[in-house]
Structure 1
Amino acid sequence: MGNSIGTSGPIAMRCNQPAAAVAHYFTSKSWIEGTALEQLGEIAKLPGMLSVASFPDLHPGKYGPVGMAALASRLYPQLIGNDIGCGMALFEFDLPQRKFKLDKAADMLRGLENIRLDVSDVSQTDRSLDLEISTETLGTIGGGNHFCEIQAVEDLLEEDAGQLLDKQKLYLLVHTGSRDLGAKVFNRTIDVSCGLAEGFDPMSEAGMQWLQLHDLCVEWAKLNRRMIAQRAAVALRTDCRLIADIPHNLVRATADGYVHYKGAGAVQDSAIAPIAGSRASLSYVVEPLAAAAKSHWAISHGAGRKYDRRNMHGRTGSTRSEREALLRNPWGGIAICDDRKLAIEEAAGAYKNAGQVIADLADHGLIRPLASMKPLITYKKVSIDHEEPKKDRMRDRRASGRHRDV
């Protein structure tokens, strides 16, 4: 079951500490930053933690590493973070490649988030949860590493993959989450709790309320991905159908406890799953295998960051020609991103080798690679406000101080 990097048994007992859960590391050759491993070790020491699985895309996060699944008897909302329900959905367009004009399609997609959709049947208030819900951000990408991307099959890696994917068609990969709803739920959780470092008892009032709010965010995020796909289909004057929707920031109840997926695709009962590369590298479609049960039915959701956002400044984009090059890829594909800062932070060089991530997962028997997918048009958030509101900064500081050991 992966390579063990956790600590348990006599060593922990000699230090008068509860035994840490053993962390299993499903990688072969992918490079992992030391800070991420340290964070994983801290997760393994949390009260009620039973087992931790980590993947080749593992990298440091704010409250714990991204690219892991953790089974616990308690609930830890901070491990999921504010983008509750974030995931990736793959859609097939009813549009053949031969009719696809790259530059024209890019122009049509620029107005993606301005396309009007009917959201009149979406409730804006949930009285049972005392939560005001705005529909304004439904069907929007958000910032950071979120995107929607038109893709085409580069290569079918298995003989039977042609039954699922067509080299003559176009596909849309959507990566986003619950937007402001997830942030609102997380901020409320941080504000009302002074003991998140110990987690929630799932049967407590606080635990049950968070699970209710969590489930709402998961459904909201799924709806958001579907509406983005609808907008893209309208922009391109075609139709689309859902192939797979795999969330990677959520909690799922099992017979053994609660599995916390943080940046790890929850693939149980899923026939296929997308694993994203960068906007200038291949993505993949894979089949989860039965052996994924040993990793809590989790796999990597993407390549994973190699450099954090701050470290990308100065590495690339210092000249106009470099910045222009960031918006093209080896297949002639286009990135729609008018935000210079975001374009630099999301450059292909910020990410690990997705092909190596796939190879590591396959080496451990977790997946069967089916196809590689080339990026044609990547839509990012066209503009972003880099000035974080003061109130949110103060809340962040309180949360960081309260959970600095997590």
Structure 2
Amino acid sequence: MGNSPIGTGGDVAQLSKFYRAGTWIEGRAEDQLTEVAGWPGMSRIAAFPDLHPGRFGPVGAAFLADRLWPQLVGPDIGCGMALFALDLPGRKLNLDRAARRLRMLEGPDDGADAALAAADIPDLTAMGLGTIGGGNHFCEVQEVAEVAPGAPLATGDLCLLVHSGSRSQGAGIFAALQGEWGAGFAPDSDAGRAYLARHDAAVRWARLNRARIADRAAQALRCQATLICDTSHNHLRETDNGWLHCKGAAEADRGLAPLAGSRDAASYLLAVTGRDPDALGALSHGAGRRYDRAAMHGRMREGRADLAAMTRNALGGRVICEDRALQVEESGRAYKNAAAVVADLAAFDLAHPLATLVPRITFKTARTGGEA
């Protein structure tokens, strides 16, 4: 690991890079690391192999500071991934029938109001609860291809990986700040306390959202879903040493964390070691983008036949994504090699793979609902 003190003026942040010398990292992302390291009150940064440029700062990093920086978390407060075991054996999965049924995830969640009331999350509405959203969010049926000793899954098992966040709730919280976060917030200021209360509510809402999506998907598949782990990767929280900000950096749940590949590549369930304090208790949450959305439109053919081919993944699975732009922007080619990311994490003893999960059905968006 490389530790380098960088910053501006008298303020110095320690930067720890958890990727090997040969790992491809876009230069603009490392420039953003250098910039954020000079922000007031920034003390430590951990960068991971899925690092890539973001709107307000790099994605795939954790930051420790003495104040709150809402722009590091961004609008999708509480975004994360939850992995669920399904009691449906892989050999019984009919891909086409299951894909038709999962289209119902496009519609509203009839149980959203009751679920939100039971969760007692203040000041947020049920709008969007139980739905996936756009961008890189998804609900994916996966089959276990390989396991290591101690894995909570067996080869041939099915599981569900849900990637979603706080939808319009978090976006509304962030927009209401109206850019007032330019210099960060003191945690004990009125603005800081108000943001923290809304942030924490959005994190809870996002976790509930992932659970509702899984419940709906399991109902569509005529099976039960049991939570294995749920990890947020867009959030902040207080620690003994300051305020930890995670942007595209996951904190383990029960010692476990999912790491997403792409619709064309395996994902992984990781056992997290937590042994290196310089990692700030965080690690990669996915493969990380190699090409931004605009660049993908210049790299992919977008004819009718090309788009039709994208309804199948490279591993024989199904892809439900009926937004032409999103089909291209979220192609597997947009992402780095997830296996290489896992190898970097293992090389630094941050985490080790417990299970390899192959995408069988990836749901992103549909024009119409599924069959009953």
Q: Same fold (TM over 0.5)?
A: yes
State the aligned residue count. 366
Deviation, 1:123, is 4.2
Provide, for residues 31-57 of structure 1, a one-character-per-residue CA deviation record: whole Å limited to 9, x for no partner: 101110011111100100010010000
Q: Secondary structure at the match of 1:110?
A: helix
Query: Max radius of gyration: which structure?
Result: 1
- Partner residue of 2:57? 64
User: Please, which moves more after superposition, 229-238 or 112-121?
Assistant: 112-121
Determine if the alignment matches structure 1 residue 367 to structure 2 residue 351: yes
Query: Quick one: distance in 2 between partners of 1:138 and 1:73?
Result: 33
Partners of 1:93 and 1:171 within 8 A in 2:
yes
1:6–1:41 CA contact under 8 A, matched in 2: no
Give the unaligned 5+ runs of structure 1.
Answer: 384-406
| Aligned mate of 1:176, from 164, 173, 190 | 164
CA RMSD of aligned residues (A): 2.0
Which of 148, 155, 161 pairs up with 2:146? 155
Shift of 1:4: 2.8
Indicate the SS of the match to 2:13: coil
CA offsets, 1:332-363, max 9 Å, x none? Answer: 10110111110000000000000000000111
SS at match of 2:12: coil
Aligned with residue 23 of structure 1, among 11, 15, 18:
15
Partner of 2:336: 352
Q: Distance in 2 between matches of 1:190 and 1:257?
A: 25
Q: Which amino acid aligns with 1:3?
A: G
Contact residue 145 and residue 156 of structure 2 kept, 8 A: no
1:214 aligned residue:
199
Q: Does 1:308 align with 2:308?
A: no
Work out the CA distance in 2 between the residues paired with 1:113 and 1:322. Answer: 24
The 5 Å alignment of 1:232-247 reads 232-247=217-232
Supply the AA of the counterpart residue of 1:23.
L
Which of 108, 111, 123 is the aligned partner of 2:104? Answer: 111
State the match for 1:403 in structure 2.
none
Matched residues in 2 for 1:118 and 1:214: separation? 20
* Cα pair 1:292 1:299 within 8 Å, conserved: no
Letter in 1 for 2:240: A
Contact 2:112 2:126 in 1 (8 A): no
Q: State how far apart, in whole Å, the 1-side matches of 2:53 and 2:69 are.
A: 17
| In structure 2, distance between residues paired with 1:42 and 1:123 | 42
Match of 1:275 among 216, 236, 259: 259
CA distance in 1, matches of 2:3, 2:268: 27
C-alpha deviation, 1:189, in angstroms: 1.5
How far does residue 223 in structure 1 lie from its aligned partner after superposition?
0.3
Instruction: Write the letter of the residue equivalent to 2:351.
Output: I
Could you say which residue in structure 1 is the equivalent of 2:125?
A: 134
* Normalised TM-score (structure 1): 0.86
Give 1:82's match in structure 2, choosing from 66, 75, 85. Answer: 75
**Counterpart-to-counterpart distance in 2, 1:307 and 1:148:** 22
**Equivalent position of 1:258 in the other structure:** 243
Q: Quick check: 1:284–1:371 contact (8 Å CA) kept in 2?
A: yes
1:401 alignment partner in structure 2: none
Which shifted more, 204-213 or 109-118? Answer: 109-118
Structure 2 contact 29–52 (Cα < 8 Å) conserved = yes
Shift of 1:276: 0.2
Q: 1:184 to 1:96 in 2, by over 3 A?
A: same
Q: Give the distance between the partners of 1:151 and 1:6, measured in 2 at CA.
A: 41
Structure 1 runs of 4+ aligned residues shifted over 3 Å read none
Tell me the distance in 1 between the aligned counterparts of 2:291 and 2:214: 30
Are 2:56 and 1:55 aligned? no
Query: What is the distance in 2 between the residues matched to 1:224 and 1:322?
Result: 33
Deviation at 1:147, TM superposition (A): 0.3
- Measured after TM superposition, the shift of residue 291 of structure 1 is 1.8
Q: How far off its partner does 1:7 sit?
A: 1.8
Structure 1 residue 121, shift from structure 2 partner: 5.1
1:331 positional shift:
2.2
Q: Give 2:89's match in structure 1, choosing from 83, 93, 96.
A: 96
Q: Which amino acid aligns with 2:361?
A: I
What amino acid is the match of 1:354?
A
Q: Which segment drifts farther, 330-339 or 173-182? A: 330-339
Identity of counterpart residues, as a percentage?
48
Distance 2:55 2:47 in 1: 16
